[in-house]
Every structure is written in C-alpha cells, then in structure tokens.
Amino acid sequence: MSEQEKNEIKTNSITITYLSKVSFASLNGSDKEVDNINPIKKITLDNGEELPYVSSQAIRRALRDKLEELGNKLSPINEASVKKGAPKTSLNPKEFIDDDLFGYMDASKDEGADKGKSTTRTSPIRVESLVALSTYKGDLDFATNFMGKGKKGKDGKEIQPNIFETEIHSGIYRGTILIELDRIGCGEGFQEELSKQEKGKRVKAFLDAFRTLWSSGRQSRFLADISPKFIAAAYMKSKNPIFLESVELDEKGEINIEKLKTVVSDYHKFLEKSVFAVQEAVFKKTDGMVSLNKGFEDIEKWVEDYFKENENQK
C-alpha cells in the first residue's frame, strides 16, 4: 500500500492495553457459595485452573467515580421509567460527561402503543475486564468481627464474634480500553455536536481518570492500586484492540516487548502511531519503552491532533 492510500484511511480511535500490579487484594466480589466465605470473581481455564478478574462493569463504575473525584459533574440518577426497570441517568450527553462517554439505555412505555420504546446511546468507551495473568491458588484471609464483644443481645446472651474468610490474590492483571474518538460528543443523544475543544477536553478527562484508576470495592481492608503500570497504546485508523491478547510477561516476569513490536508490524496499515510506556518502579524499562508519564503525554497529543485536524469534526 502506498503512503497516499494509507493516508486516505482516517484515524478514529485509541486503544490501550495495560498491566496493573496487585500484591494483596480481593478486588471484585462474587456470589457467595458458603456463608462465611467472601469469594472473588474468577474464570475457569480448560485445564481447570482459575484466573481472578475485575468485571468490565466494575471498571466502568470505578472510572465514573474517578471522573467525579477529579471534578467532573456526573449525570444525576433517577428512577426507572417503568416498574422493575433499572435506574437511569438524566440521558443528557451534551451536559454530562458520563452520559457521553459511557452511554445509557432507558426503556419506557409509549402511550397508545402495544410496545414500549427505548432511548439509547452506545458507549464510545469500550472496556475489557481486568484479568489476572496468574491463577488463583486458594489463598484466604481469615478474619473475625469483634464488634459485639462484651455486649449482649436482646435475649440477654453475649454476642459472639463473627468469623469469616475472604479470598485473596496476588499477581499482575491485564485490561484493555478502546476510545472511539469519532463518536465522542456527537451522534446518539445529540441534536448538535460539541465543539472540538470540548470533545478533546472530555477525552483528556477520561485519560486522567484511567491513569489514576482504583476500585472502591473492598478497599477498607484490602487497599489496592489497579492503575496502569505499563501501557501498550495505539492511535488507530481502524477500531480494534490490537494489544488485547499480546501483552504478556516472560519467564523472568518482564514485559515481552518483542511480541508487541510484531503486533505493530502486523497492523502497520491501520496504525498511525504507537507507544509502550512503563512505570520503572514496577516493571523493567527496556529498549522501545518510555516512561509512563511520557506515554500518557503522547496519547494526549494524539487526542489534540485528532480534534484539531479531523475535518469531519465541528
């Protein structure tokens, strides 16, 4: 393919696959199988081993919470439009960043019609679950709640301590996000699309939330940092999470950069720019990697370039 033909394919997305390090945590609760054990979510491999994970829904919730913490105004939550329906936001993507970035769906009755109707906005932020690269070994944290020690219940008997266990895990977790740049601030839910400046501002706000990500679940006793410590990012001309299955560790526990370079080569036709960035306090920095700070600076520059140069944007 000639450079002229390649340039005719317009950039439209950013994909980021990342690694987080968790030393001791119980990240995402699952249904209880035993009353006194708090399990974590896991997927089962063909060989029967289990990989802990944080669900995409939990990641999206954490990103929303982080956006709010960083000063962004979120869409108010309202009652469902129909009985037994899910609560809804204000369905106003023009005013609220989360309605724009994460989308919504609301089902409601259509007066005089046999069927109802739905109001939807498909999320331009695509999120993969955060999955551990190492298996669950059966570790449990043993705990006892002594809140009632020395107290008596209504029956006059002394309240007994509550004994319980929580599944815990230690390891490296891998996740992926994909940002559809051409759908930010426009399309479903918009009568008039946002300005280029506001679109770029929203994407940068999301990147700040992602960069400092943490999950509020079970953090009182199991404080854990799930923010990215390594990222493989690409500025794409086709929406595809190209690094999703390719970020791996070698036998020494180091990032396999050579594999990632082959991905860049394989998708050269659809890839405008790429960057591999690492936090050296966690992973070894090798040739082809930059600092984590430099990596996010590059991604923010891609965002600026996209909304500055794309002629289809307002």
The pLDDT assigned to 111 comes to 60
CB 292 within 8 A of CB 225: no
- Listed as ranges, residues in the chain with pLDDT below 70 are 1-7, 31-34, 79-86, 109-116, 145-150, 160, 310-314
CB 260 within 8 A of CB 271: no
Place of tokens 């551990």: 132
pLDDT in tens, 229-253: 999 999 999 999 999 999 999 989 9
201 exposure class (CB count in 10 Å sphere: 0-12, 13-18, 19+): middle
**Chain mean position to CA 126:** 8
Angstrom distance (rounded) from CA 288 to CA 275: 8
Domain residues of the chain, as ranges?
A: 3-309
Can you name the residues that pair with 233 across neighbouring β-strands? 16, 275
